[in-house]
Amino acid sequence: GQQVMQIPQYQHVQEGEDFTTYCNSSTTLSNIQWYKQRPGGHPVFLIQLVKSGEVKKQKRLTFQFGEAKKNSSLHITATQTTDVGTYFCAGLPSNTGKLIFGQGTTLQVKP
């Protein structure tokens, strides 16, 4: 079946270090979304990417959508303790209307 794989599963960084999580789909995606889930909380929508090669920024967060629309990344510059949580990508395959979530990357930040 269609899958969205996300790596790494866990990442521990020192506060101030950068962090990147990667997302790869087995099929071409219409769009990809990113969510953040704080410990004990619920997923919160961050952003949606639609165009091939698209790059969007939100303060210290940079989101990229690959040229082939099969992969994406989220990069956080100079992490802060408030960045702690699990980051999920979610892809919408071109041939279905069902969003498929990656397994998530859990980020821990040491102060």
Binding site for other proteins (CB under 8 A): 1, 6, 9, 30-31, 33, 35, 41-48, 50, 88, 90, 92, 97-99, 101-104
Q: Considering beta carbons, is residue 42 or 111 the nearer one to other proteins?
A: 42
CB of 108 to other proteins, least distance (A): 16
CB of 21 to other proteins, least distance (A): 13
Bridge partners (DSSP) listed for residue 43: 37
CB of 33 to other proteins, least distance (A): 6
CB of 46 to other proteins, least distance (A): 8
Q: Considering beta carbons, is residue 1 or 111 the nearer one to other proteins?
A: 1
Q: Considering beta carbons, is residue 97 or 111 the nearer one to other proteins?
A: 97
Q: Considering beta carbons, is residue 6 or 64 the nearer one to other proteins?
A: 6
Closest Cα partner for 79 from 36, 48, 110, 37?
Answer: 110
Residues 6+ apart with CB under 8 A from 60: 76, 77, 78, 79, 80
Burial (CB < 10 A; 0-12, 13-18, 19+), residue 98, is exposed
Measure CA 66 to chain center. Answer: 13
3-state SS, residue 109: strand
